[in-house]
Structure 1
Amino acid sequence: MRIAVKIVFLIIILSSVLAQAQTQIRLPNLSDSLFSTYYQQRVSHFKLLPATKNDIVFIGNSITDGAEWSELFADINIKNRGISGDISAGVLHRIGDIGKQKPKKVFLLIGVNDLAKGISTDSIVKNILLVASWIKQESPSSKLFIQSILPVSDRFKKFEGHTNKTDSILKVNSKLNSFASGYGYTFINLFPFFINQQGKLNEKFTNDGLHLLGEGYLLWKHIVFPYVYDLQAKPSLIPLPQQLTWNNGFFPLYKCHSIMVTDNALMKEAEKLKAIFTEKGLQTSISNKAGKDETDIELRLNAQVPGMTDEGYAMNVSENKILLTAKTTHGIFNGIQTLRQLMRDGAMIDACDITDHPTFSWRGYMIDVGRNYMSMKFLKEQIDVMAMYKMNVFHFHATEDIAWRLASKQYPQLTAPENMLRNKGMYYTETEIKELITFCKERYITFVPEIDMPGHSAAFKRAMKTDMQSDSGMLMVKNILKEFCATYDVPFIHIGADEVKITSKNFVPEMTACIESLGRKVIGWQPGGNFTGSTIRQLWMDDNAHHASGNEVQYIDSRHLYLNHMDPLEAVTTIFNRRIADKEKGDATTLGGTICMWPDRAVGKEEDVLQMNPVYPGVLAFAERCWRGGGRSGWVANIDDGDKKQFIDFEGRLLENKKIYFNDKIFNYVKQSDIVWKLYGPYDNGGDLAKQFLPETKKGDKANSKFYKEVTGGTIVLRHWWAPLIKGAIENPKDSTTWYATTSIWADEDGVKNFWIGFNNISRSPATDSPPLDGWDTKNSAVWVNGKLIASPVWLRGGQKGNSEIPLNDEGYEYRSPTKIYLRKGWNDVLIKAPIGSFKGKDWQNPVKWMFTFVEIN
């Protein structure tokens, strides 16, 4: 047998050398008879299993074979291709079958059995590098991760041929690490995580010095988890805590026997944390005392913590304990949301210290259900997302010209179907509103109802047959307010009072006095009505009155925070860079901000509100900014004009949260910070938008092409439709000019890829016209890939005049089928043509959006 093994390795080494000397990598031709019967049994089994896509394959010997990988990760796409006793030659012999399946990822750990058979470290490394080269050649889109050989221990007096090879193991690991970049794989060094103080396999992970116990596999899972799912090395926390220090070691969630609380006020929070454990498939109990030598989590109220705010918390995670401390139950709740994100893999938490608090006290999200009704289930989903990211105000815009959706015992005609223009008969009962208020309170979210007055009140007028500002109308409104305040336990009433001609100067002051007499505070939109000094103003457009008010009036900022106007990629850029209320942090007058969702236009189904608008990516960007404070002065539309380094970091955390927490939700955002464009222009087109210029007529010849600058992003705003308030990529844009943009994109292999492409991201509010039948937009914009013109979509309603009652269908790239483009292996050239005629739209519902989007999506 020893002779046969040596012959095998002689053949492998020779094949490896010859293969690397040739252009085409070839695997050695070995006989099945050279391998064990168990090896043959496993290989024959693997060959007959059904072929599936997007597999993540773990290959190796008995150490890999011993894991229930799909159960460990709760992922059926993770496949075990370990074979007990396998060697690097065995992997070479069967890698062809695995490669044919084009797996998404391959995790390889092999070599300790080779060492036990006397095979040299160089031979093992050459075999593994041949595997890497072959995968790169035959399945270039497959990502290869080569894991270090694990440590061994001779303490158990077993597997003596294996457990005396520590020096050789370290040599192999070092060489595999050094070759990673050149051979196109990622090296994962497992070794240091599994050793004891003597540098041997830690006894808590093994009972024979070579193979792993269950705890060892959970540690293995924790280490490779970010590689399996393309995550960052440490959990991507949103909002990022004010102070965060990562320490050495891990808290084992599977050993957490209890959640300890000594204050009954924290029982509800303990139950919430226990429910998170259950979601992760973990069992724990709630106790009022710590067990001896137990690994546990303690929730503790401490009003004496220096500098701690009511919503702040402190957390220490060590190897055997997690201590979460706060002044209030709200602070504990916020800490639990951070703890949920730290628990991302359900196995272990990285040791750390966190001290955290919000910089703004008001962190809100507004949804307009007056124009488009939303089900209770759909609203609760959005509220749950708010809570997870520590937002604390749910602004409920429930009355509009379209419909009045708040039940009234005194005036039931308000919600009669005949008085609604959309979703007729759909409104919220007293029971449902109370249910929403309770649902919010359980998550430390303040429910803020808006009853719009005296504007946006056509539904009231249809139902009551009078205008709100009439004497009879004012009496009815007061009665509605009294009924509402007597029925619902809410601290604020939002009265709107914007976009209306005030015909009765007493209306707003009288309604304000009425609400305040009922023990509620009043909020109104600014610019808006003739408010009293006690009214909290919610800014909806640029208004400098808040700068001149001294310390008398409180404000909430919602300027340029309307998600329905934003391109999805621009939304995250601009919101992340915002400086809320023009201040670094909140104070007595600057409360914070509210991000708003106004789906003015009719929607076909409620899910379209999330599909057609960047709600969840926008909410997460806003949660980060409102919690942490800071940001840039002015309004940023493009990545390069903001804090690019911080944006790249946030984008990574955003995409990780999308992958882990939104895989069953609509989250229309993709990575864009790695796309760099070269802008060329301006070219004077004299009003002829079809006119061709050098970048278009001599593709690839950039001489005399008027290079302007480089810009970054999937969406590039050349001139913002709200210019000059918001800066675009072009400093001094001129009408009747044409610009071009070029970039290159890489493809691992030939094939069709999906892209978001757009040139006019239609706002979901006004009655904007549909794109023309024969083009991307009315500006004659175009895109080529490798010299081939990419056809615009066959629009469902091409050329249709805008109509607010006709739901959008395919007008935006984020809610139509992606454009499919064939890419060749290697670099592919992209050319964008972006002409402009006049900056003035034909009417206010059709603003000129001079922009383009081009980004690959999965």
Structure 2
Amino acid sequence: MIKTLLIFLLALNINAVAQTAEKPLNEKPALIPMPQQIEWKKEWIALKNYKGIVVESASLQKEAELLQRQLKELGLIIPIKKSAAPNKPSIVLELGKVSTLDSSSEEAYKLNITASAITITGAGKAGLFYGLQTLKQLIDSGKNVKACNITDWPSFSWRGYMIDAGRNYQPMDLLKQQIDVIAAYKLNIFHFHFTEDIAWRLESKLYPQLTAPETMLRNKGKFYTQKDLKELISYCKARHITVVPEIDMPGHSAAFKRAMKTDMQSDSGLVIVKNILKEFCDTFDVPYLHIGADEVKITNKNFLPEVISLVEKQGKKVIGWEPGGEFTESTIRQLWIEDATKVSANPKVKYIDSRHLYINHMDPLESVVSIFKGKIANLDKGNDAALGGTLCVWPDRRVNKPEDVFMQTSVYPAVLAFAERSWRGGGQPDWLTYVGLDGSKEVNVFKEFEHRLIKHKNRYFSKMPFPYQPQAHLKWKFYGPFSNQGDLTKQFYPEETNDIDTSKAALTAFGGTFILRHWWGPLVKGLLEKPEENTTWYATTKIWSDKDQLQNFWIGFNNISRSYASDSPNEGTWDNRKSQVLVNGKLIPPPQWKQAGAKGNLELPLIDEGYEYREPTKVHLKKGWNTILVKLPVGSFKGKDWQNPEKWMFTVVPWL
């Protein structure tokens, strides 16, 4: 089990040796999540100097073997010993007390690196495992390790990642890849959503018809056997991750109805559900069962009370979506829109925050910014009620192949941002979608994180989708509002002059994606404090080029949610707002859309509608400074329908 993790974690280090330039000696390693306390020393120490992995307790043999294989992947053969040899540097693994400011968590650890010893002390085995993940990141491409002293612990006990494999099936190897990634970044919950209206994807020995191909609307015949789920649970346990399975009920259950010829809330349906739950609880060794229970009209008032009672009697804790059904106080709530006031007002109710953590609704650059800047549960750290948060990936729309989920949604960049925030805590209130205004401290804070993020992209994700480009260096000036009176083609001062007076800028901000007004405004805060309908704004920036060249760009004006049946852009347009982008006065034409004008359909996969999964736009840059002008008109904020909301935005970013 652990071997597969090492292949991911450490083979990627081998890639890094070939691809990463040698760093200056005074550059610090890029750690994600950044530890709570760290004291850097000056030295870089060759790993080959350490002659043994020392574990006095036989109970830590697996951890020692994990480290041994990790080092072997780097070409270092270091034996495991019960004690250190005199005057020979060693790597010591141990359990012990870890004194922290505000945590008694077994996930805490200390890591001390000197020329004489590397010592990792875990408050529990999970803490020791996390110390090993940090050690991995401290090793450079020359097999040297940075001397330092770290004391670290999580701010939230629940650091989750959720994938919906009910709508779009994902094979076991891809699930394990995701588990390996979240383990490397200290997440500890794998929320597995595998039943849906589209398909029921978990084998039942009692009711094999649940997974019959004819009951499925997509990926017919694709499901997880009981053996598969047991394997995933074991795979996660080896990485200190808890699996939270979700059997959605009584809503999102059309596949159940097709298979069983009855509604879950009918008397006969409830009997079947209870049998399924007993089978599940008897079969799988997990502490939680998520029952969903949202987006459904409750017609049987006994359904949820009886289901919750049964599951709890089987020794499992119940989790449900909030808002959702009428739950008992013992039910853990997972917030998806509720703003943490009604639930958090009751100290007896435990909850998990997933508000503003549905990355299928987000632009790639927006997702990293929003998650990094966000404040989980509106708190700096967790407590007995506010357990933490879960990052959610809901690919509602059909995809051509499972890997498309990770190209069309910025999954791994978002995971790293969420790992930073859920481990370190803190953040800012509200949902904030751009890097920051000129002069604000938050710009530099994000720049520092983005620097680490890009290093991880290059080092660990060279063979996996990682749709993110640096954006924090881009400085834009915004001009407006200009009243267009509903004429989206109307021209105004910034496009009528070759020399814009920068003193007329209404504001200056950093970033590559700007949402002037979100479709969920004002709950989600866009760039404009008071956006107005029937107005036009302009944005300008300058980009330096060392030579005349064709430069790849990400350019887009309408990030289509992977959860809506949104229309594809019309031929010859960037979007439905007549948006434009000009470089050195030359209009950049929109892509030749493969599905131009296609009406929204959840069964019609997206192909090139988003800049992150289509061929980049090639832009001619001249030697020297190049001026980019973006025109951003808008009419009504009311979208064509709920599937086509008006998200007034743009993305312009060069590939670096």
Range class of TM-score, shorter chain? over 0.9
> How far apart, in 2, do the equivalents of 1:388 and 1:498 lie?
32
Residue 251 of structure 1 and its aligned partner are, at CA, apart by 2.7
Counterpart position of 2:223: 427
SS in 2 for 1:459: helix
- For 1:563 and 1:723, the matched residues in 2 are separated by 17
Q: Does 1:669 align with 2:468?
A: yes
Quickly say closer, same or farther: Cα 1:779–1:73, change in 2 above 3 A: closer
- CA positional deviation for 1:274: 1.2
Asked if residue 298 in structure 1 is aligned to residue 92 in structure 2, the reply is yes
Counterpart pick for 1:649 among 435, 448, 458? 448
Unaligned runs of 5+ in 2: 1-13
Distance change (3 Å), C-alpha of 1:586 and 1:73: closer
- Write out aligned runs for 1:499-514 (5 A): 499-514=295-310
One-letter code of the match for 1:270? A
Tell me which of 494, 511, 525 is aligned to 1:695.
Answer: 494
* In structure 1, distance between residues paired with 2:578 and 2:249: 44
Shift of 1:670: 1.1
Residue in 1 that maps onto 2:349:
553
Give the corresponding residue for 2:573.
775
Q: Pairwise mapping of residues 539-578 of structure 1 onto structure 2 (< 5 A)?
A: 539-546=335-342, 549-578=345-374
The aligned counterpart of 2:3 is none
Q: Where does residue 188 of structure 2 map in the other structure?
A: 392
Q: Which residue of 2 aligns with 1:720?
A: 518
Equivalent pair of 1:497/1:524 in contact (CA under 8 Å): yes
Change (3 A) 1:279 1:457: same
Structure with the larger helix share: 1
Q: Are residues 1:239 and 2:24 paired?
A: no
Instruction: Tell me how far 1:248 sits from its aligned partner.
Output: 2.7
- The one-character-per-residue Cα deviations of 1:357-386 (angstroms, maximum 9, x if unpaired) are 001000000000000000100000000000
CA contact (8 A) 2:443 2:510 kept: no
Question: Alpha-carbon deviation of 1:513?
Answer: 0.3
CA contact (8 A) 1:401 1:457 kept: yes
Q: Distance in 2 between matches of 1:403 and 1:240?
A: 40
Going from structure 1 to structure 2, the CA distance change for 1:232 and 1:763 (only over 3 Å counts) comes to farther
Distance in 2 (CA, whole Å) between partners of 1:853 and 1:832 is 10
Paired residues of 1:509 and 1:531 also in contact (CA < 8 A): yes
| C-alpha contact 1:682 1:706 (8 A) present in aligned 2 | no
- Report 1:404-419 matches (<5 A): 404-419=200-215
1:695 counterpart letter in structure 2: P
After superposition, where does 1:720-739 map in structure 2 within 5 Å? 720-739=518-537
CA distance in 2, matches of 1:361, 1:771: 43
Q: Distance in 1 between matches of 2:56 and 2:183?
A: 25
* CA separation of 1:73 and 1:424: change in aligned 2, threshold 3 A: closer
Deviation digits for residues 235-260 of structure 1 (CA, Å, limit 9, x no counterpart): 11111000000013233201222111
Which string of whole-angstrom CA distances, capped at 9 and with x for unpartnered residues, describes residues 481-502 of structure 1?
Answer: 1001111100000000000001
- Structure 1 position 320, deviation (Å): 2.1
Q: Secondary structure at the match of 1:528?
A: coil
Against the structure 1 CA distance between its residues 316 and 74, is the aligned structure 2 distance closer, same or farther, given a 3 Å change threshold?
closer
Distance 1:336 1:73, change over 3 A: closer
CA distance in 1, matches of 2:620, 2:26: 30
Q: 1:402 and 1:547, CA in 2 relative to 1: closer, same or farther beyond 3 A?
A: closer
Counterparts in 2 of 1:74-473, with a 5 A limit? 74-75=17-18, 225-226=22-23, 233-303=27-97, 308-473=104-269
C-alpha separation in 2, matches of 1:73 and 1:520: 43
Partner of 1:118: none
SS in 2 for 1:741: strand
What do residues 365-420 of structure 1 show as CA deviations (whole Å, max 9, x unaligned)? 00000000001000000000000000000000010000000000000000000000
Cα distance in 1 for residues equivalent to 2:140 and 2:432: 32
- Residue-by-residue CA offset, 1:632-669 (whole Å, 9 max, x unaligned): 01111111168222211111111111111111111111
- Cα distance, 1:548 vs. partner? 5.2
CA distance in 1, matches of 2:596, 2:499: 33
CA displacement, residues 816-845 of structure 1 (integer Å, 9 cap, x when unaligned)? 000001101110000000000010001110
Distance 2:128 2:318 in 1: 29
Structure 2: distance between partners of 1:508 and 1:856:
52
Paired residue for 1:750? 548
Partner Cα distance (1:717, 1:531) in 2: 37
Opposite residue 488 of structure 2, the aligned amino acid is L
In 2: Cα distance, 1:325 partner to 1:462 partner: 53
Assess if the C-alpha contact under 8 Å between 2:17 and 2:141 holds in 1: no
Q: What secondary structure is seen at the aligned counterpart in 1 of 2:285? A: coil
User: Distance in 2 between the 1:600 and 1:345 partners?
Assistant: 40
Contact 2:16 2:459 in 1 (8 A): no
Name 2:485's counterpart in structure 1.
686
Residue 497 (str. 1) matches residue 320 (str. 2): no
Tell me, in whole angstroms, the C-alpha distance in 2 between the residues paired with 1:710 and 1:823: 23
1:250–1:318: 8 Å Cα contact kept in structure 2?
Answer: no
1:528 aligned onto 2:324? yes
Preserved CA contact (<8 Å) 2:15 2:459? no
Q: Is the 8 A contact 2:98 2:108 kept in 1?
A: no
Asked whether the 8 Å contact 1:526–1:543 carries over to 2, the reply is no
Contact 2:343 2:351 in 1 (8 A): no
Contact 1:334 1:390 in 2 (8 A): yes
Pick closer, same or farther for the CA change 1:314–1:304 going to 2, 3 Å.
Answer: closer
Q: Distance in 2 between matches of 1:388 and 1:73?
A: 16
Q: Who is 2:621 aligned against? A: 823
Deviation at 1:547, TM superposition (A): 5.1
- Residue equivalent to 1:711: 509
Matches of 1:775 and 1:686, distance apart in 2 = 21
Counterpart mapping for 1:10-89 below 5 A? 74-75=17-18
CA 1:852–1:407: 2 relative to 1, 3 Å: same
The residue that corresponds to 2:655 in the other structure is 857
Q: How far is the alpha carbon of 1:275 from its aligned partner?
A: 1.6
CA contact (8 A) 1:308 1:326 kept: no
CA contact (8 A) 1:252 1:320 kept: no
The Cα shift of 1:576 comes to: 0.4
Task: Indicate the structure whose relative CO is greater, using CA pairs within 8 Å and at least 6 residues apart.
Answer: 2
Do the aligned partners of 1:251 and 1:320 also contact (CA within 8 Å) in 2? no
User: Which consecutive unaligned segments of at least 5 residues does structure 1 have?
Assistant: 1-70, 79-223
1:368 corresponds to which letter in structure 2?
Answer: D
- Residue aligned with 1:225, SS: coil
Q: Which has the larger radius of gyration?
A: 1
Deviations 1:248-291 (A, max 9, x none): 32332012221110111211111111121122222111111111
Partners of 1:533 and 1:514 in 2: how far apart?
A: 15
Q: Which amino acid aligns with 1:594?
A: T
Aligned CA distance change for structure 1 residues 546 and 262 (closer, same or farther; 3 Å): farther
Query: Aligned partners of 1:253 and 1:667: how far apart in 2?
Result: 30
For residues 643 and 659 of structure 1, what CA distance do their matches in structure 2 show?
24
**Structure 1 residue aligned with 2:4:** none
RMSD, matched Cα: 1.7
Amino acid at match of 1:441: K
> Does the aligned pair in 2 maintain the 1:280–1:346 contact within 8 Å?
no
* Farther-moved stretch of structure 1 (571-580 vs 304-313): 304-313
- SS of equivalent residue, structure 2 residue 30: coil
Where does residue 163 of structure 1 map in the other structure? none
